[in-house]
Amino acid sequence: MRAVALLVWGLSLSSARAETPLTVAIFAPNAPFESGTDRFAFATKMAQQLASAGVAPTPKVFAHASDFEAAIQKHQVDFALVDGVYLAAKGRAFGVLGTASFRGEMAPHWALYSGTASSVHDLAGKKLTLVWAGTHDAAFLDNALFESELSVSHFFSQVKSAPDVHSAVAAAALKKTDAVFAPEGSGQGLRRVFEAGRIPNAAFCQVQKALAPALVARVKTAMLAMAAVGDFDGFRSSSNDPYRLLGLRMKPHPKRPVMAEPETIFLDGDVLLPPAFDPAWVDAKELYDSGDSAAVRAQVIGGALSAPSAMY
């Protein structure tokens, strides 16, 4: 009877867990969505896709990192599309199930765009706008994008924040700011003045750790099969490695001179020896007898003329 009771209790517990509502969210301000409405529509598409895995999550969208983190602390987010810069900066132990591909790129180059300048030097003392995805964005700018070659806080007169990449690019297009960093392909109508390295896109993550492995496996399979939506091409299987490496790039890496050891050069000995000097004796008596002094000079080769004593 006890075994039967335990079995019934276990089935009831499993049923209760299965019926627990799940939440799939988006916090990806650097993803190429044009508005909050587009973000919510994409979150709804993800929720519909998970229905094929026997899951019916509630879609949510977060515009600020603080709100996203507060919801996580309250266990109100189970799966989420999480900004790649945020993942790298925070170093959170979210389980990356796949990386989003936009316009065929999982890790596009980022670029500095401007509507007023033609080079980085022209932007000295000007305004820069960036999407703030976390608390380490200054390190992201200085080290990951400018590779520790330029201090943003000293070079630009002001660094402004934008809620998403579309708003940041629009501010540059309207001349409300002088420059904006954004993924390549996002700066339509602006001039690209600097190309930075590749930055991984947002990742679809398991946020809550206390989820059944079988459920996580079904969710991953369903999301990797999600069809294209607009600029979104689908999710590609990935891991935390690209975001961990980006986190390392955010740390200062000052340039140091490399001490080069001179190369040993082996030369033929004849190159280093002066040529041998072998004066030649010329029999110039007949030429002197003929009185042709020009011919005498033409015959003297390889040294000074030493005439025989018989000539005098």
Give CA 148 to chain center in angstroms. 13
pLDDT of res. 263: 73
**Taking residues 121-140, what's their average pLDDT?**
89
Task: Give the separation between CA 30 and CA 39, rounded to whole angstroms.
Answer: 11
Question: In total, how many domains does the chain have?
Answer: 2
pLDDT band, very low/low/confident/very high, at 186 (cuts 50, 70, 90): confident
Q: Residue 122 is part of which domain span?
A: 109-198
Q: Is residue 123 part of a domain?
A: yes
Q: Indicate the SS3 state at residue 186.
A: coil
180, 58: one domain: no
* Residue 310: inside a domain: no
User: Looking at the structure, do residues 98 and 85 belong to the same domain, yes or no?
Assistant: yes
| Cα distance from N-terminal residue to C-terminal residue, the chain | 146
What confidence tens digit (pLDDT) does each residue in 148-169 have? 888 998 999 999 999 999 999 9
Task: Give the mean pLDDT of 87-94.
Answer: 83
The mean pLDDT value for 211-226 works out to 95
In a domain, 14, yes or no: no
According to DSSP, the β-strands at 158-162 and 79-82 are unpaired
Q: Are residues 211 and 75 in the same domain?
A: yes
Q: What's the pLDDT score for residue 286?
A: 62
In this structure, are 97 and 225 located in the same domain?
yes
Does 10 score more than 50 pLDDT? no
| Buried/exposed code over 81-110 (b: 16+ C-beta within 10 A; e: otherwise) | bbbbbbbbbbebebbbbbbbbbeebbbbeb
Q: Which of 129, 114, 124 is nearest to 151 (CA)?
A: 124
Residues 205, 102 share a domain = yes
The alpha carbons of the chain give a radius of gyration, in whole angstroms, of: 37
What's the pLDDT score for residue 259? Answer: 63
Q: Do 193 and 205 fall within a single domain?
A: no
Read off the pLDDT of each residue in 5-24 and give the average, rounded to a whole number: 52
In angstroms, rounded to a whole number, what is the distance separating the alpha carbons of residues 284 and 147? 79
In order of 130, 192, 198, 200, 256, the CA distances from 111 in angstroms are 12, 6, 9, 14, 25
Instruction: Calculate mean pLDDT across residues 206-233.
Output: 93
Question: What are the counts of helices (DSSP H) followed by strands (DSSP E) for the chain?
Answer: 12, 11
Q: What per-residue confidence (pLDDT) applies to 90?
A: 84
Contact 279, 300 (CB under 8 A): no
In a domain, 170, yes or no: yes
- The CATH number of the domain where 135 resides is what? 3.40.190.10
291: Cβ contacts below 8 Å, ≥ 6 apart = none
* pLDDT at residue 305 tops 50: no
Tokens 């810069």: give the residue: 85
User: Looking at residue 38, what is its pLDDT?
Assistant: 94
Residue 12: pLDDT band (50, 70, 90) is: very low
What pLDDT, on the 0 to 100 scale, is given for residue 121? 93
Task: Report the chain's mean pLDDT, rounded to a whole number.
Answer: 83
How much is the pLDDT for 253?
75
CB 285 within 8 A of CB 311: yes
Average pLDDT over residues 82-92: 89
Q: Is residue 308 part of a domain?
A: no
The verdict on residue 186 lying in a domain is yes
β partners of residue 129: 160, 180
Share of the chain above pLDDT 70, in %: 75
How high is the pLDDT of residue 244?
A: 94
Position 256 in a domain: no
Helix (H), strand (E), coil (C) string for 118-177: CCCHHHCCCEEEEECCCCCHHHHHHHHHCCCCCCHHHHCCEEEEECCHHHHHHHHHCCCC
Mean predicted confidence (pLDDT) in 93-120? 93
